[in-house]
Structure 1
Amino acid sequence: MGMVATWLSVADAAPLQPTQYGDFDRYVLALSWQTGFCQSLHDSGRSEPDECRLQKEPANKADYLTVHGLWPSLPKSIAARGVDNNRWMRFGCATRPIPNMPEAKATRKCAAAETGLSLEVANKLNAVMPGAGSNTCLERYEYAKHGVCFGFDPDDYFGAMVRMNTEIKQSALGVFLADNYGKTVTRDAFNNAVAHAYGPQSVKAFKLTCSGNPAWLTEMQIAIKADAINAPLAAGSLLPQPHPGNCGDRFVIDKAGY
């Protein structure tokens, strides 16, 4: 019931619209598999944020699918100034010569400016982006790097992420992730779940990242048509990506308790 209420309230938000540099063709929605992400930090010896050390196991295991960010692709107006995709993905809104804003650094996320989120949307975001509203400051970093230069209203920007995360968790793909929590799956089985949810033509829209040996899922990145961002995800709204990721033929839907 709570997830349905969240979907309805966020769906009523204003549509996401750039006020400048709007000549891009896609967004990439980045979603973390939270237990795999935390295990990758643990195994690498890197310091773990509070949301990894203090995480509670949800009743619905699909809720481990959490929001990382929403990334507009390189606008044509910026590419025309000699900017390539690698430079755009590295610097985002700090790309020179335009948009020429302060660089958001991954090692100093809390140095980024406050987003200006309303309390209502901040509370919804905190429920699906564990690094938001904490000393991790993930939402500040994501907005400073990927949102502010487009003039996105922060409530609309993060509200779109909350909506799509909820929608995916309620889809056949979300059911697949929950049913296979802690299990080894094949990429073919994952692709079948995507096809069931969004049609076979959407399989190549998903780029998967894994870590460890044997490999476990840490993140999925989903390419979405820019002009479809405000509609429910469907077969016609996703775009193929140039690379499927590094997960290989078999990987683990990692569980908590590493």
Structure 2
Amino acid sequence: MADQSGPVAGQTAGQDRRQNEPGQFDFYVLALSWSPSYCEAAAERRVGRESEGRPDPQCGERPFSFVVHGLWPQYERGFPEYCQVPAPRLNREIVSGMLDLMPSPRLVFNQWDKHGICSGLGARGYFEAVRKARAVVKIPDAYLEPERTLLVTPDEVEEAFVKANPGLDREAVAVACNRNRLTEVRICLTRELGFRACPEVDRRACRRDRLSMPPVRGG
């Protein structure tokens, strides 16, 4: 999965005096990617040219719905990234242990390099935080295993997440899209992994009137 975290908070240069200091940030964004949208877009990019490299395991036979794209440290304005270059290498055991939530080794490596180091946590601590953050959020029933394409509005999706998660309000959740597809739902969390408002993230949310959510593979 390509890392699409840049649009969360726009350009980062000069926005925060703590720029790229590991452990120095204000809150997290948990990015939940709608896997069928990702795989449809990936298939479209391959049309007309031969596929390169190994098949993406996220787009294989196993049906995925929402998967974890990443847990991203954020400033109130902007975000840190690549806080140590090169990043400490990941233990393969850690990578394989995350594939139930983040179904691509490349995704796990990329998220560690770009965002994990900035948390100030070690590798095990960071991916434990990813798992705990994911456990905080309940996916609405309608989005668990849809068997046909859903047509939704960003407001409908946000409201569904709010209803499914006591304590979550609309100021803490944002929908991301590309063209006509829903791509992600982004949930803002405190450093202690409680829900919190995030005006900058919300301001950059998708504003399209109608989006599609392709069905899970096999639907």
Regarding TM over 0.5, the answer is: yes
1:247/1:35 Cα in 2 relative to 1: closer, same or farther (>3 Å)? farther
1:56 aligned residue: 62
Identity %: 25
Kept in 1, the 8 Å contact 2:36–2:65? The answer is yes
Q: Following the alignment from structure 1 to structure 2, what is the Cα–Cα distance between the partners of residues 253 and 201?
A: 22
- Which residue does the alignment assign to 1:93? 82
Q: Distance in 2 between matches of 1:208 and 1:122?
A: 27
| 2:211 maps to 1:246 | no
Say whether residues 1:218 and 2:207 are aligned partners: no
The one-letter amino acid of 2:162's match is: A
Where 1:128 maps in the other structure, the secondary structure is coil
1:79 alignment partner in structure 2: none
Between Structure 1 and Structure 2, which shows a larger proportion of helix residues? 1
Aligned partner of 1:156 among 125, 128, 137: 125
For 1:133-189, what per-residue CA distance to the aligned partner results, in whole angstroms no more than 9, with x for missing partners? xxxx22122112212244312122112222332443xx2x43131265522123332
Q: Equivalent residue for 2:113?
A: 144
The answer for the alignment partner of 1:176 in structure 2 is 142
Number of residue pairs aligned between Structure 1 and Structure 2: 190
Letter of the 1:175 partner, please give it.
D
Change (3 A) 1:148 1:23: closer
- 1:204 maps to what in 2? 171
Quick one: which amino acid aligns to residue 98 of structure 2? L
> Could you say which structure has the larger radius of gyration?
1
1:35-88 Cα distance to aligned partner (Å, 9 max, x none): 11111222233858422442322xxxxx5111111111149xxxxxxxx73xx5
**Preserved CA contact (<8 Å) 1:194 1:200:** no
Q: Which runs of 5+ in 2 are unaligned?
A: 1-20
Aligned alpha-carbon RMSD (Å): 3.1
What pairs with 1:120-131 in structure 2 (closer than 5 Å)? 121-131=94-104
8 Å CA contact retained: 1:206, 1:223: yes
Q: Aligned residue for 2:11? A: none
Q: Distance in 1 between matches of 2:158 and 2:24?
A: 30
2:23 aligns with: 22
Q: Tell me the equivalent position of 1:39.
A: 40
Following TM superposition, by how much is the alpha carbon of 1:208 offset from its aligned partner in structure 2, in angstroms? 1.6
Shift of 1:244: 5.0
**Matched letter for residue 50 of structure 1:** D
Give the whole-Å Cα distance in 2 for the aligned partners of 1:179 and 1:247: 25
Name the TM-score, length of structure 1 as normaliser.
Answer: 0.62
CA change 1:201–1:219 in 2 (3 A) is closer
